[in-house]
Amino acid sequence: MRLDELIEMVPGVCAGQPVVKGTRLPVKFIYEMLDQGWSPEEIVKLHYPFLSLKVVEALVEHREAIEALIRKWEEGWRKKVETLRQPGVSAASSTRT
């Protein structure tokens, strides 16, 4: 499964972070569960039955590339938040181009 078939980053969905394509499920949730010891089968069967095992296994296969996207998104998000914390900057004025 190709990366573009697996995940998407949509500005209005979960603040634009990488999600499983066609869902609002952040990919990092799946990785956190894997890190806690859940198997792909358990993740699908017990937590996210709307995902296929094939999708979760592909997330595992592409983990390095997807985590790089997550880190890039988190860095951009932190910068945006820091900008909003500056005196005199409002959320409305920071979104205008």
HEC assignment per residue over the chain: CCHHHHEECCCCCHHHCCEECCCCCEHHHHHHHHHCCCCHHHHHHHHCCCCCHHHHHHHHHCHHHHHHHHHHHHHHHHHHHHHHHCCCCCHHHHCCC
Q: What are 20-57's pLDDT values in tens digits?
A: 999 999 999 999 999 999 999 999 999 999 999 999 99
User: Greater confidence, 21 or 83?
Assistant: 21
Which CATH number belongs to the domain containing residue 43 in this structure? 1.10.10.10
Which range marks the domain in which residue 10 is found?
3-94
How many domains would you assign to the chain? Answer: 1
Q: How many CB atoms are located within 10 Å of the residue 83 CB?
A: 11
